[in-house]
Amino acid sequence: MILLLSKKNAEERLAALYLQSVPPFRASAASQPREFRLTMTRGDIGNYLGLT
């Protein structure tokens, strides 16, 4: 979490959250779902990333 917030702009913080949250890529990516559910509101995400 500390590395997520240190010296990164909002776009970089959001990208880091996405990369931590998305299921890992596998060789059989064609069979993997193209979307995933993130059960956080925009406000929750902003608070988590220190943007509010």
State how far the Cα of 16 lies from the Cα of 37, in Å rounded to an integer: 16
Q: What is the pLDDT of residue 18?
A: 85
Residue 29 lies in a domain: no
- Count how many residues are written for the chain: 52
DSSP secondary structure letter of residue 29: G
Provide the domain limits for residue 6.
1-19+38-52
Q: What is the pLDDT of residue 22?
A: 77
Residue 52 lies in a domain: yes
Cα–Cα distances in angstroms (integers) from residue 17 to residues 1, 4, 7, in the given order: 9, 8, 15
Angle at Cα 32 formed by Cα 30 and Cα 36, nearest 5°?
A: 140
Total domains in the fold of the chain: 1
pLDDT single digits (tens) 21-35: 877 666 565 666 677
Residue 25 lies in a domain: no
Residue 33 lies in a domain: no
Residue 13 lies in a domain: yes
